Amino acid sequence: MKLPGIVLRNLVFNRKKTLPVVFLCGLIILIPAASYLLVRHITILADRPLAALDTELIMQRDTGAKESASVKTRGLVEPFNLHHFNTESAGGRLKEISGIYQYSTALVLWQFDPQNTLTVVGLDPADPPVGLRKIESLLMEGSRFFSNSSADEVILERHFAILFGYKPGGRFPLAGRNLAIVGLVDFMEQSNLSNAAVFVPYETALNLSQQKERVANQVFIALGSSANIGGISNELNRVFPGFSLISRDSLYKNLSAFNRLIYQGGRLLVLLVMPLALLLLLWLLKMHRLEFAGQTNILKTLGWPKGDLRYWHALDMGYLLAGGLLIAGIFCVILYFLVLPHLQIAPLLDQGFQL
């Protein structure tokens, strides 16, 4: 009989001593494997509320000081803390980033006035309903969106219009132009969109601010799934150095912070359990080898070569570990298919978000 068969028969013959070792090996291997499966499942559950959120990111370049010659205070001017960028260049880079569903751009402008400083936003009617472009769905009855990107039209925020007596169908003076008021927008309470009072078509905003290129200073980004926010944010920071990312969704911020805690805690748990399990497994195999040290001494007395003795020990440990892996695998399958599916915590989120 060949040596593998002899070692296996010896283990079976001494099964009262070897079977407990096999079960203990399986249990030790199961601990890190089960920890990984449990952490992975908890991570999936934690990501579900994020995936259910329709969270958008605001990207803008608000770092670095502007040159004094470029700072203006008359007419429609760019905010001091924002730097414009080319929309075509930014759009090309955004399309290359996986996970971005849609995006829209905005040109935010200020008009200084001793009585009332206005925040004016230029929006492109061709952009998808992302970010500030969503105001089309918030228009009041009797209002309409811009007819085209260069129309002499304006949409006013409802409270601002009532305060200063503006109505749809009237005229609104802006930077030396008389714009037709085509609608009023009614932001819901606690809106996370904007504090702007005046909205104009994108090309009209370019002309009023005397911009010669197609530029914007804010991008609103809708993700395919908010659960992948970390990877997409890192990629955006890599592709757009010097830009900052903002989310005004407090629920998203709280959930993402909670998820980061879960991720870090889960990784630390697995990293802690794995070396401890390995040390415990090595100690168990060492104790088993000491238990059968007498057999090794007999084989040495019979003149067995050292190579055959090492082969014997390797086969002995291999059979024990194989049995332990089999047991751990069975329990992992039971855990994965029968236990974890019942740990389904449905996120109690109000899906009727209001902007």
The DSSP code sequence of 91-124 is HHHHHTSTTEEEEEEEEEEEE--SS--EEEEEE-
353 domain-assigned: no
Sign for the CA dihedral angle at 275, 280, 283, 285 comes to: negative
Q: What is the pLDDT of residues 279-295, one digit of tens each?
A: 999 999 999 999 888 88
Amino acid residing at 34: A
pLDDT band at 188; cut points 50, 70, 90: low
| One domain for residues 138 and 177 | yes
Specify if 347 maps to a domain.
Answer: no
Q: At residue 117, does pLDDT exceed 80?
A: no
The answer to the question of residue 243 being in a domain is: yes
Q: Which of 231, 248, 265 is the last residue of a domain?
A: 248
Instruction: Answer whether 263's CB lies under 8 Å from 229's CB.
Output: no
Based on the domain organization, do 134 and 230 belong to the same domain?
Answer: yes
Specify the pLDDT at position 190. Answer: 43
CA distance 125 to 20: 72
pLDDT the model gives residue 72: 59
Q: Are 178 and 204 in contact (CB under 8 A)?
A: no
| Number of structural domains in the chain | 2
Domain span holding position 324: 3-49+257-342
**Rounded mean pLDDT of 308-314?**
90
- Predicted confidence at residue 191, as pLDDT, reads 47
pLDDT at 259: 56
Q: Which amino acid appears at position 288 of this protein?
A: H
Angle 95-101-102 from CA coordinates, rounded to 5°: 75
CA distance 218 to 84: 8
pLDDT at 47 over 80: no
**Residue 355 included in any domain:** no
Confidence of residue 140 (pLDDT cuts 50, 70, 90): very high
Are 77 and 16 within one domain?
Answer: no
Say if residue 95 is in the same domain as residue 239. yes
% of residues, the chain, pLDDT over 90? 50
Q: In this structure, is residue 160 part of a structural domain?
A: yes
Q: Considering 221, 248, 275, which residue would you say is the last residue of a domain?
A: 248
Residue 350 placed within a domain: no
Among residues 220, 248, 276, which one ends one of the domains? 248
Residues 225-244 have a mean pLDDT of 84
